[in-house]
Chain A
Amino acid sequence: MILDLHDLAFAYDGRPILADVRLGVPAGEIVAVLGPNGVGKTTLLKCINAILRADKGVILVDAEDVRRMAPSQVAARIGYVAQRTETARTTVFDAILTGRLPHLRWRASRRDLDLVGTVIARLDLGALALRFIDELSGGELQKVAIARALVQEPRLLLLDEPTSSLDLRNQIEILRLLRAVVDERRVAAVMTMHDINTALRFADTLVFVKAGRVLAHVAVADVTAALVSDVYGVEVDLHRVGDLAFVVPMIEKES
Chain B
Amino acid sequence: MSVAGEISSAYGAHVRRKLVVTVALLVATALALVAAVALGSADLPLSAVAKALIGLEVPRRVEMIVWSIRLPQALAAIVAGAGLAIAGAATQSILRNPLASPFTLGMSHAAAFGAALSVTLLGSGTMASSSVGAVMITSPHVTTATAFVFCVLAAMVVVAVSRLRSATPEVMVLTGVALSALFTAGTMFLQYFADDTQLAAMVFWTFGDTARASWRQVGIMAAATALTSFYFLACAWTYNAIDAGDETAKGLGVRVERVRTVGMLAASLVTATVIAFLGVIGFVGLVVPHLVRRLIGADHRYLMPATIVAGALLLLVADTAARLVFMPHVLPVSVLTAFVGAPVFLWLIVRSRR
With known contacts A76-B253, A89-B298, A114–B8 Cβ distance under 8 A: yes
Q: Determine whether the beta carbon of B252 is less than 8 Å from that of A86.
A: no
A208 within 8 A of B: no
Q: In residues 234-250 of chain B, which contact A (Cβ within 8 Å)?
A: 234, 237-238, 240-241, 243-245, 247-248, 250
Closest chain A CB from B141 CB (angstroms): 32
**B298-A88 in contact (CB<8A):** yes
Stretch at the interface among A1-9, A92-100, A211-219, A233-241: A92-100
Contact B7 A120 (CB under 8 A): yes
* A residues less than 8 Å from B8 (CB atoms): 113-114, 116-117
Neighbouring A residues of B7 by C-beta, 8 Å: 93, 116-117, 120-121, 126, 129
Asked whether, in the complex, the Cβ of B253 is within 8 Å of the Cβ of A74, the reply is yes
Pairwise interchain contact B245-A71, C-beta atoms closer than 8 A: no
Q: Are A90 and B238 in contact (CB under 8 A)?
A: no
The answer on a CB contact under 8 Å between A80 and B248 is yes
A228 vs B253: C-alpha distance when bound (angstroms): 36
Task: Verify A101–B243 contact, CB threshold 8 A.
Answer: no
Do the beta carbons of A71 and B253 come within 8 Å of each other?
A: yes
Q: How large is the interface on B (under 10, 10 to 19, 20 to 34, 35 or more residues)?
A: 20 to 34
Distance in Å: Cβ of A187 to nearest Cβ of chain B: 15
Q: Which residues from A are CB-within-8-Å of B240?
A: 90, 94, 98, 101
Instruction: Give min CB distance, A99 to chain B, whole Å.
Output: 7
Q: Is B220 an interface residue (CB 8 A)?
A: no
Q: A148, B4: Cβ atoms under 8 Å?
A: no
Query: Does B55 have its Cβ within 8 Å of any Cβ on chain A?
Result: no
Whether A98 and B297, one on each chain, are in contact in the complex, defined by CB atoms closer than 8 angstroms, is no
Tell whether, in the assembled complex, residue A71 and residue B243 are in contact, meaning their CB atoms are under 8 Å apart: no
A51 contacts chain B at the CB level, 8 A cutoff? yes
Q: Give the number of chain A interface residues (Cβ < 8 Å).
A: 48
Q: Which of B1-38 contact A (CB under 8 A)?
A: 2-8, 10-11, 14
Q: Which residue of B lies closest to A49 (CB)?
A: B251
Q: Are B245 and A84 in contact (CB under 8 A)?
A: yes
B216-245 CB contacts (< 8 Å) to partner A: 234, 237-238, 240-241, 243-245
Residues of A within 8 A of B96 (CB): 86
Among A70, A82, A98, the one with the most B-chain Cβ atoms within 10 Å of its Cβ is A98
Q: Do A126 and B254 touch across chains, with their CB atoms under 8 A apart?
A: no
- Measured CB to CB, the nearest residue on chain A to B8 is A117
Chain B 297-316, CB-CB to A under 8 Å as 1, else 0, gives 11100000000000000000
The smallest beta-carbon distance between A76 and chain B, in angstroms, is 7
Say whether B51 faces chain A, with CB atoms less than 8 Å apart: no
Q: Is the CB of B243 within 8 A of A102?
A: no
Q: Are B299 and A91 in contact (CB under 8 A)?
A: yes
Instruction: Return chain B residues, CB-CB under 8 Å to A84.
Output: 245, 247
Once bound together, how far apart are the Cα atoms of A88 and B185, in whole Å?
Answer: 37
> If the complex has contacts A74-B253, A90-B298, A113-B11, are A120 and B4 also in contact, measured as CB distance less than 8 A?
yes
Smallest Cβ-Cβ distance to B248: which chain A residue: A82
Is there a chain A Cβ closer than 8 Å to B293's Cβ?
A: yes
Query: Closest approach, in angstroms, between the C-beta of B258 and any C-beta of chain A?
Result: 10
Complex contact A98–B241 (CB within 8 A): yes
The answer to the question of A104 belonging to the interface, with a C-beta cut-off of 8 Å to chain B, is yes
* Known A-B contacts A90-B299, A98-B244; A114 and B254 likewise in contact (beta carbons under 8 Å): no
Please indicate which of the listed interface residues A75, A117, A158 has the most CB atoms of chain B within 10 Å of its own CB.
A117
* A130 CB–B CB distance under 8 Å: yes
Q: Is the CB of B4 within 8 A of A86?
A: no
Among B5, B11, B96, B244, the most chain A Cβ lie within 10 Å of the Cβ of B244
Q: Which B residues are CB-close (under 8 A) to A79?
A: 251
Q: Contact: A75 with B251, CB < 8 Å?
A: yes
Q: A85 on the interface (CB 8 Å rule)? A: yes
Q: Which of B4, B248, B297, B298 contacts A114 (CB 8 A)?
A: B4
Contacts of A165 in B (CB 8 A): none
Cβ-based interface call for A142 (8 A):
no
Q: Are A126 and B3 in contact (CB under 8 A)?
A: yes
Closest 9 CB pairs of A and B: A80-B251, A75-B253, A117-B4, A72-B253, A82-B247, A86-B245, A88-B243, A89-B298, A121-B3
Residue ranges of A at the interface with B (Cβ–Cβ < 8 Å): 49, 51, 70-76, 78-91, 93-95, 98-99, 101-102, 104, 106, 113-114, 116-118, 120-121, 126, 129-130, 132, 145, 148-149, 152, 158
A-B contact sample (5 more), CB < 8 A, given A91-B14, A106-B234, A113-B8: A49-B251, A95-B243, A114-B4, A149-B251, A158-B251
